[in-house]
Structure 1
Amino acid sequence: MAKFGKKATLKSRFTLSFLFLLAALLFGGAGAFLQVSIQRDLLEAPERQMATEVQERLYSLLQEAQQDLVSVSQNIPPDSVLFSANLPKTTHPVFLYRKDKLLFWSDHSLRPEVDPRNLSRRQQVIENRFGKFLVLRQVVNAEYTALAVVPLEVKYGISNSFLRSGLNPTIFEDHAASVQAERSRRAIPILDAQGNYLFSLQVLEPGQWLHAGKFTFALYGLAIGCALLFLATLYRALSQAGNSLGAFWAVTLGLLGLRTVMLLSQFPNSVHEVELFSPRVYAAAWWSPSLGDLLLNEACFLVMAWLMYRLAKTFPFTAVFQKSTQKQLWWCVALGVLITCLIISWYETYRSLFINSQPSLDLTQNIQMGVEKILLYVAMVLHTLAMSWMLRVLLRWLPLSPKGKLPFVYAWITVLLLALGWAFWRDAPSGNWVVLFASAALVGWEQLHRHAGLRAGIYSSIFILNILSASLGAAALYDLYVVQLRADKQRIAAQLLKDRDDLTEYLLAQAANDISQDPLIRHVFNAPWGSLNVIEQKIRRHHLRGITENYAVTVRMFDFTGESFNDLDSLGNLEVYAQKWAPKARSTNQKGQLLVGSESDPGRFTYLQEIKVPVEFEHWVTVVLEVSPKITAPNSVLPELLVERKGTQVATIPSSSYALWKDNRWLKTEGYFEYSQQFPTRYFGIPQLFSQGVSLAHYHHLGARSNNGTVAIVSTPEYGLRSWLSNFSFLFLLHTFSLFSLLVLFMLLKGQLIQALTSTFSTKIQLFLNLGVLVPLVLVSLTIGSLVTNSYRQDLVRGYTDQGDFVRQSIVTSNWGANLFKGRADSLSRRINRLALIAQAELNIYNANGELRISSQPALFEAGVLSTRLNPKAVEALKEQGLNRILLEEKAGSLPYSSIYVPLRTSPTQAPQGYLAIPFFDSEKDLSNKLIQLITTILNIFTVLFLLFVLMSYMATRALTVPLQLLTERLKKTSLTGNNEKLVYKSRDEIGLLVHEYNQMLQKLEESKQELALREKEAAWKEMARQVAHEIKNPLTPMKLSLQYLRKAMQEGRGNLEVLIEKISNTMITQIDVLSDIATSFSNFTAMPDLKLETLELNGLIRRATDLHLDPQQHQVEVALPQEPVYIRADENQLIRIFNNLLLNALQAVPSSVTPHIKVAVCLESPAWVLVAVQDNGTGIPAEVQPKIFIPNFSTKYTGSGIGLAVVKKGVEAIGGSIWFETRENEGTTFFLKLPVVAP
């Protein structure tokens, strides 16, 4: 019935599995049908879907903008606190005009430059060189007009990592499209809620807009969920059916197949866009194209590793190694290769993760945290868990032994050789050493535990694997940074040595030809009031767009008489200009192009491109372009902000220095490093300087040599052990917190947390010691970090305030300060630029109305990076609230920075004549660098102290618990029969008192033992005498009666006396044999012979014992032995006697009416134990008799002495085994022997 019930349960579980499979197929089929049908409809009319999506997002923005207009309109006519009253009410850019004068603006980052008089509709799209904007107009009355602006597209004159032109992602997401103000056949009209036309949308990639909808996505989600339930129930059913290997492969192949289908079908983004599966944050290869796919891959890898770990626990892999020593060594080599390859793949996975991630995971470079960054760290933790299970399996399979060293040597040498070979092939300065050390340390760690006969604890395993994972992650970050930095240095060194650029010469010549034929440029030159600024901007942004990324360009223009158009130009005419440059220049292969080089600085060459632009009959204007390479090592982000850069390469390296060396002298040095004092010239003869670089004076230097012998040296602060330790500390603490949190959560779910924490005294000691150290460390670190961070912020704010006050005071006290807001602004530009150079800051001067008047960096405003309007919060604080200064946080594109605003006035009671703004573009960078140094220092100290205290707590625990463990072992061995030794512990602490009491107890126990032994001896003799008397009395009674009968017959003289004597003699001999057997049994029990232990092959021994009892006609003996040999250590004669007694007892237990059927089975219960079962088909052992089975002199048979099973039990326990039995009435009894296994 039990077997039938088990089969029925398995059948029901298999049925449930295939029901889940059917559900997955149905949901997936329904989703595919809907997706195909909906996409077909969308392909037939894509405009409807696209317009609907854009209009839905636009409606909500327009409603918010309209609400802002209503709020601002309620405060008309405006009072003196216009900005204070309206700024809190607006969420969109709002502009308030009185006639054509701008009174209020809520945003200064946009440049719509709207004139309300030019608007013809209530909602209208306007376009300028700064972008396209949807403007909402509300005429409050005849005098006031309010405008709200919704940006549709933003355009910057520069494109780089901070400034990205493009559509508003709030409305258009990341789709490729263009906005058109006028209707077009190929564009989709976008309407407002009333059906009025707003603008047209031209989609460049329609496939991005074709989504099947949330319902289809939900169907696919249900299909995936059912597929996972199918795999889970199938795994459980196969495992319970005994097919663990099939269960493992079913789930593994199922997960791989499911992920392959998802990747090939680009799910879920092919159905419904999910930000997590966008390649914006992470993209590696087709199998990991996004962050979401990476997390799914790691989750699947984790499940497969866990299943492999569970399978390995049930698979007796070590039995394979017991066949031969040679096979052990080969397996050691194979497993050593697998362990090393696994660690190498671990390192390469981390390196790939860091390379293909958009956010920087290097703590020494970026400490900003976000959701994407946290998810990347989650992927690392999942990978660590999976790798730890796989490494645990491989280490457990290593055929290491406590005594044999040869397998360990083979495995260790294999690991070392493979790691060294990989090190020669892979350019990984730090990873090579970490992989080598980690592989060798893991094998040595396993051998150490095998030698000590211990299993690695869960806590120590977590710490070891956390250290390994953090070391590999820190090494990957270190190597990646070093390799990338070396490539950047080589490129910049080559740029320093480059004295010309053939490609730039060709591009410059092509640009000159296009400029000379440009109709706009010709038209402006011909116009009497043309703006030369328009020409310069057209040349820079259109014709020289591919050159300005790496070259600085100066545009000079001369009229047909040779005079400069710029009155402030120091080179007033073309003749003077030619006299300056001609002696230094040489011609290139391009027309009208000269190259001016520098002997002292090869990288400082300049191209002069002459361009003749015809303007009138036989007249032309001369345009000269001065093009020089940008080679600097700036410590400010401002040059990066102003440089056109679409690629990923950097033009400079922060905090770098460089120098040029030729003919035993330094031609040029720039940066912080003192080359003349700290860089010995002998290093120029070291080849490593030009390949890998050298470290000197806490800097890393890399050189390059030109054909003429000039050497360029690029130097950066050394990225050394401190940086590696910082990343290691962070990753170690991250893994420790994550894995211990998962462990605590797992124990909570199983209800074992309290039991685990209070299981052993050593656990309590370690827990309290670690908490006693960890909590103060955390509190102190957080307190110090908070205090120092606030101090850094206050220092920065104080520095910015002092700089603002210095510049304001310089302007107010200067002889030109009174004329700052009078006359032309151009006349004061040089003075402002000179003051900005002294202050080492960018200065922007605004008039009393908040309009830009003068800037030391006008390119920021020309490119649309900054607005020409004052920050409205500054107007509110300085003008309306009367503050003396205010520090505001702003953004230029994606670059956050701080700006200090101060009013300019001659006396405190006077209204501000204007405002001074000083943007600190390095503010975020400066604060970030200081915080990085602070946080990394705290993490390094915290981690080192934490590891030291963990080690100290472990040692303290060992020191405190070793006496207790010794006492525990002695207590286990304490008995009334054995020799109990006293403990020696000289300390007078609490443990010393416990040891003292233990020794006193032993002394009292010894006294009680002697007294008890005396009593037991007397009782034993009495019991023995009684038993012997009872056993002897039984045969003596018939002997006495037979002799009395013989004497009486002799006295009577009977005739059959000889027959009677023969009969009585036989009776006497039989009874005497019975007495002899009784004496032998008691002798065997009371005085068992000394054991002669030797290594025996168990299977052959059992075969010999069963052969003695083979009698097919009388009974059946069935033997089931394993194929591989099993070795034990025992006395051969005694072990044969044990099996003979068990077999004889089994045969005698079967009634005479039943044919005895005896089964003997041997199986390996574990690598250390073997189980022998002897089963009969007798009547079983009654319940009331079972406790007495192994008691001497007890027997259920009439002729038995009751000594046999007692002898068996004593013999089994003598060789370290145990014996027990299981019985069922009228079915039979099975005796089990558990014996220790030894190596052959």
Structure 2
Amino acid sequence: MFRIIFDKYENKWYSYVFYFITIFVLYTVIIITVSSENKEKSVRKLLVTNLANERDPIAELQMADFEKNILDDKKIKSILQNDYLNKADELYSYLLHYHFHGFWRKYDLQLTICKQNDSLLINETKKLESCNEYFNNYRNETGIQVVGTNFYFLDNINGRISYFADLKYVADSNKLYSIYIELDSKLQTEQLGYPELLIESKNNSSQKLDSYTYAKFRDNKLVYQFGNYSYNLALRYYGTFNNEFEFINKDEYNHLIYRVNDNNFIILSKPQYAVFNYIVFFSYLLVMYVFVYLLILVLKINKSNIIKSFNNLIFRIQIAYIGIVLLSLFIIGAGTVFYNIQQFEKKQLEKISEKAQSLLIEFDGKFANEKSIINQESYNLNYLLVKLSNVFYSDINLYSPDGKLIASSRNEIFDKGLLGNYIDANAYYELAINKKSEFIHNEKIGKLEFLSAYVPFFNNNGELLAYVNLPYFTKEYVVRNEISSLVITIVNIFVFLILITISLTFIVSNNITRPLRLIQKKMGEIELGKRNELINYNRKDEIGNLIIQYNRLVVELSESVDKLAKSERESAWREMAKQIAHEIKNPLTPMKLSIQLLMRSWNDKEENWEQRLNKVSKTLIEQIDSLSAIASEFSGFAQMPFSKKESINLIDKIDFAINTFSNYENITISSNNYGISKAIINADGEQILRVFNNLLKNAIQSIPPERNGKIIINVSKENQSFLIEIKDNGKGIPESMHDSLFQPNFTTKTSGMGLGLAIVKNIVEGIGGKVWFETEENIGTSFFIEFNELVIIGN
């Protein structure tokens, strides 16, 4: 999509920033993840420590009023004054029915009555102890007083929330009675949630635990659990723990095991972080950083170049593809969020409606034959509503036909003035005036908004007995978390799909335009005298037809080039033959003249015939040597690149060649091996020596007589190859001769076949090497030879 950016910066390092960004984002994800996990573990340690000392803030908030109601109850004094054995049982039943109802049903009640001199038989010691003294010691050892009350929180770590009360009564007979009350939270997997109306949010620490599951173990046995995870009944299922805090992974949960003491353990658990979440987090950061980087690059590019980029086919395909997919994803994502929010709200309405109808069935079974519910004792109605609220997991209120409160499962809401004693006006209008069979709407108390369902209840005669109200106190943060979790999940998937879309866009667009770019590349690489490759494309589409035409032209061009090359070779050999004939004629002419003169001298019986014979013989030998050299040079060129390959050391061959040419006056030849003692290659040693001899000979011949010659041979190693540089300070090579320098029969001298550099090229390329040169007129020339290193395994 941003090809113009890469075209702009193709010779710079900017494109590598994308790789750096990916690595940096991966590193960032790892660092943040590790840091977050460590922080979460620290928070979990704090929470599990608080769980070990868990208290009930709702209960403590009500204890002052609760204690006052008990102390002011004259019936209790009456029971204490009666002198019969079962007064404790009677008092227990009375307290349970008249005081420990509603909210307090979540606690188990134990009751002990002690007079001033009563004694207790202690089971552990089998000894009698003073009753008051025993409970006073018990209170002082484990109790923490609730401010403003005679209630004490018991820090006994038994897996339950425990409170202790010491209430004093003076009967009419001036006898002092002590009533010791013990409250222990009931052992069930999950109690009714605390209503947010009864406690300030800053004190509601239970919200912090909503994302966790926890359990309490005593003597290796499960005594309490809360949350979605089902704990094993035995602690040993999770292992043996000696440290105070230990983290383990089991059943796709991460568990923190807190060792309170040798007998008590608390496990605080949360689901393990899914791999998908890491991928989404990585996608977020990668998209953000790449977008910022591309934005910076775009701002640096000329506007004209940006406009030109819209003429680019790949760019237009990518923009169209990404635009369509992103628009589709946005519409689908927004629609999904909206639909799921509606479904969630609909589900809440259906849930409360089902509860209301089920509740009517319960009432029908109890009051269908009654003429009026108002005549029922309020205690019995309240007790019934509390039982039903525990079943339906919802508060229940009953209103009379004229809209006045009859009974409630949670009277404390009305006692504290948070709700009035009359039915909601809108509900009464819809039920009483509009005669609706059900009415559900949102009600609000302060900042707390909740659903409230109202249904009329009729007896068997069709007479209206009451209006049943279910205030659905779903915790606001639970609803908010559920909706936000849905939105976040969809957004996460959306971002992940964006990243995949962009990646697929590049892949798809590149696949679509790859044949076009390949044609463009191949057309740019077409050269005469070079084997041009055909494009392999199997699809029979428009691009396929274009490639067929391209391949046909390449084949025709190749055939034309072959014909041209053949013609050029034939022409070259003809020129070579002419050159050879010319070179051979040069020595033959003086040889013929010398022999003719020698024959004349013989015929004339000249006195200096022997002297002339010696002179002619010398001339003939020189010319024969010249012919032999010509024949050898041509034969050597014709036999290239046939050779006998073996392992040779380039350093030795270079040193030998330097010694061969070291006697030239005014010319210094040196080498620099840069610490390389062995440069082993696989080649014909004689041919490699001929390469260095030819290049040194050319270097010497290129140096003018009036100049002090300096030739340096540098040897270096790059990866798995050796680079040889033969540098001279000669007169250089004119630019007009650059293209013909390695061709046969090309020479800058007045004599010779011009095969020296052609032989060098044939030898070097015959063993897979490369040869090239760099030159500057009147400064000098450097010939470079690159050989592949011979790797000997085990050496």
Q: Deviations over 1:335-393 (max 9, x none)?
A: xxxxxxxxxxxxxxxxxxxxxxxxxxxxxxxxxxxxxxxxxxxxxxx9x957937xxxx
Partner of 1:4: none
Deviation at 1:795, TM superposition (A): 4.8
Distance 2:597 2:647 in 1: 58
Change over 3 Å in CA distance of 1:1153–1:706 after alignment to 2: closer
Q: What secondary structure, in the 3-state scheme, does the structure 2 residue paired with 1:1059 have?
A: helix
Q: How does 1:564-643 map to 2 (within 5 A)?
A: 564-565=71-72, 580=92, 581-582=111-112, 587=134, 590=137, 602-604=158-160, 606-610=162-166, 638=194, 642=199
Deviation at 1:1205, TM superposition (A): 1.7
Distance 2:371 2:637 in 1: 124
Distance 1:629 1:558 in 2: 18
Alpha carbons 2:721, 2:788 under 8 Å: kept: yes
Distance 1:1091 1:570 in 2: 126
Partner of 1:732: 282
- In the alignment, does 2:736 pair up with 1:1184? yes
Change over 3 Å in CA distance of 1:630–1:835 after alignment to 2: closer
Q: How does 1:170-249 map to 2 (within 5 A)?
A: none
Quick one: which of 686, 697, 704 aligns to 1:1133? 686
Q: How does 1:1085-1124 map to 2 (within 5 A)?
A: 1085-1093=637-645, 1097-1111=649-663, 1114-1123=666-675
Distance 1:1218 1:550 in 2: 92
Partner of 2:607: 1055
Deviation at 1:1157, TM superposition (A): 1.0
Partner of 1:898: 449
TM-score, normalised to structure 2's length?
0.62
Partner of 2:291: 741
Q: What secondary structure, in the 3-state scheme, does the structure 1 residue paired with 2:614 have?
A: helix
- In the alignment, does 2:630 pair up with 1:1078? yes
Deviation at 1:1036, TM superposition (A): 2.5
Change over 3 Å in CA distance of 1:1084–1:790 after alignment to 2: farther
Deviation at 1:1067, TM superposition (A): 1.9
Q: How does 1:448-597 map to 2 (within 5 A)?
A: 554-555=63-64, 564-565=71-72, 580=92, 581-582=111-112, 587=134, 590=137
Alpha carbons 1:1101, 1:1136 under 8 Å: kept: yes
Q: Deviations over 1:417-461 (max 9, x none)?
A: xxxxxxxxxxxxxxxxxxxxxxxxxxxxxxxxxxxxxxxxxxxxx
Q: How does 1:818-833 map to 2 (within 5 A)?
A: none
Q: How does 1:278-357 map to 2 (within 5 A)?
A: none
Alpha carbons 1:1099, 1:1126 under 8 Å: kept: yes
Distance 1:565 1:638 in 2: 27
Q: Deviations over 1:26-55 (max 9, x none)?
A: xxxxxxxxxxxxxxxxxxxxxxxxxxxxxx
Q: Which amino acid letter does the alignment assign opposite residue 1188 of structure 1?
A: S
- In the alignment, does 2:26 pair up with 1:388? no
Distance 2:489 2:351 in 1: 24
Q: Deviations over 1:257-295 (max 9, x none)?
A: xxxxxxxxxxxxxxxxxxxxxxxxxxxxxxxxxxxxxxx
**How many percent identity over aligned positions?**
23
Distance 1:486 1:1025 in 2: 98
Deviation at 1:1177, TM superposition (A): 1.4
Alpha carbons 2:716, 2:724 under 8 Å: kept: yes
Distance 1:647 1:1092 in 2: 92
Distance 2:59 2:549 in 1: 86
Partner of 1:1068: 620
Alpha carbons 1:1105, 1:1140 under 8 Å: kept: yes
TM-score, normalised to structure 1's length?
0.42
Change over 3 Å in CA distance of 1:659–1:791 after alignment to 2: same
Distance 1:1119 1:855 in 2: 108
Q: What secondary structure, in the 3-state scheme, does the structure 1 residue paired with 2:736 have?
A: coil
Output the aligned Cα RMSD: 7.0
Deviation at 1:972, TM superposition (A): 8.1
Change over 3 Å in CA distance of 1:660–1:635 after alignment to 2: same
Alpha carbons 2:725, 2:784 under 8 Å: kept: yes
Alpha carbons 2:162, 2:183 under 8 Å: kept: yes
Distance 1:900 1:647 in 2: 21
Q: How does 1:974-993 map to 2 (within 5 A)?
A: none
Partner of 1:203: none
Q: Which amino acid letter does the alignment assign opposite residue 71 of structure 2?
A: S
Distance 1:875 1:705 in 2: 55
Q: What secondary structure, in the 3-state scheme, does the structure 1 residue paired with 2:784 have?
A: strand
Deviation at 1:790, TM superposition (A): 4.3
Q: What secondary structure, in the 3-state scheme, does the structure 2 residue paired with 1:608 have?
A: strand
Change over 3 Å in CA distance of 1:1060–1:788 after alignment to 2: same
Alpha carbons 2:745, 2:754 under 8 Å: kept: yes
- In the alignment, does 2:239 pair up with 1:688? yes
Alpha carbons 2:160, 2:224 under 8 Å: kept: no
Q: Deviations over 1:848-878 (max 9, x none)?
A: xxxxxx9998999999xxx9799xxx999x9
Distance 2:614 2:355 in 1: 137
Alpha carbons 2:352, 2:472 under 8 Å: kept: no
Deviation at 1:1021, TM superposition (A): 3.4
Distance 1:707 1:1224 in 2: 90
Partner of 1:1142: 695
Change over 3 Å in CA distance of 1:688–1:488 after alignment to 2: farther
Alpha carbons 2:730, 2:779 under 8 Å: kept: yes
Q: Which amino acid letter does the alignment assign opposite residue 288 of structure 2?
A: S
Deviation at 1:1060, TM superposition (A): 2.0
Q: Deviations over 1:867-918 (max 9, x none)?
A: 9799xxx999x99xxx9997589996xxxx534699999xxxxxxxxxx996
Distance 1:1095 1:755 in 2: 57
Q: What secondary structure, in the 3-state scheme, does the structure 2 residue paired with 1:1222 have?
A: strand
Distance 1:574 1:1034 in 2: 156
Q: What secondary structure, in the 3-state scheme, does the structure 1 residue paired with 2:112 have?
A: helix
Deviation at 1:700, TM superposition (A): 8.3
Deviation at 1:1088, TM superposition (A): 1.0
Partner of 1:1158: 711
Q: Which amino acid letter does the alignment assign opposite residue 591 of structure 2?
A: M
Partner of 1:285: none
Distance 1:1238 1:636 in 2: 82
Q: Deviations over 1:525-565 (max 9, x none)?
A: xxxxxxxxxxxxxxxxxxxxx99699787347989xx9822
Distance 1:386 1:1002 in 2: 43
Change over 3 Å in CA distance of 1:472–1:948 after alignment to 2: farther
- In the alignment, does 2:578 pair up with 1:1026? yes
Distance 1:862 1:1176 in 2: 110
Q: What secondary structure, in the 3-state scheme, does the structure 1 residue paired with 2:63 have?
A: strand
Distance 2:748 2:542 in 1: 54
Change over 3 Å in CA distance of 1:592–1:1085 after alignment to 2: closer
**Unmatched segments (≥5 aa) in structure 2:** 1-12, 93-110, 115-119, 123-133, 144-152, 364-369, 399-406, 457-468
Q: What secondary structure, in the 3-state scheme, does the structure 2 residue paired with 1:1102 have?
A: helix
Q: Which amino acid letter does the alignment assign opposite residue 1186 of structure 1?
A: H
Distance 2:740 2:329 in 1: 62
Partner of 1:1037: 589
Distance 2:372 2:721 in 1: 100
Distance 2:204 2:713 in 1: 78
Q: Deviations over 1:89-147 (max 9, x none)?
A: xxxxxxxxxxxxxxxxxxxxxxxxxxxxxxxxxxxxxxxxxxxxxxxxxxxxxxxxxxx
Distance 1:990 1:484 in 2: 64
Q: Which amino acid letter does the alignment assign opposite residue 164 of structure 2?
A: L
Distance 1:890 1:1073 in 2: 123
Distance 1:901 1:816 in 2: 24
Distance 1:950 1:922 in 2: 42
Q: How does 1:1213-1232 map to 2 (within 5 A)?
A: 1213-1232=765-784
Distance 2:212 2:288 in 1: 36
Deviation at 1:1211, TM superposition (A): 2.8
Deviation at 1:1061, TM superposition (A): 2.2
Distance 1:772 1:557 in 2: 66
Alpha carbons 1:657, 1:714 under 8 Å: kept: yes
Distance 2:739 2:31 in 1: 60
Quick one: which of 321, 333, 336 aligns to 1:784? 336
Q: What secondary structure, in the 3-state scheme, does the structure 2 residue paired with 1:1180 have?
A: coil
Change over 3 Å in CA distance of 1:795–1:1047 after alignment to 2: same
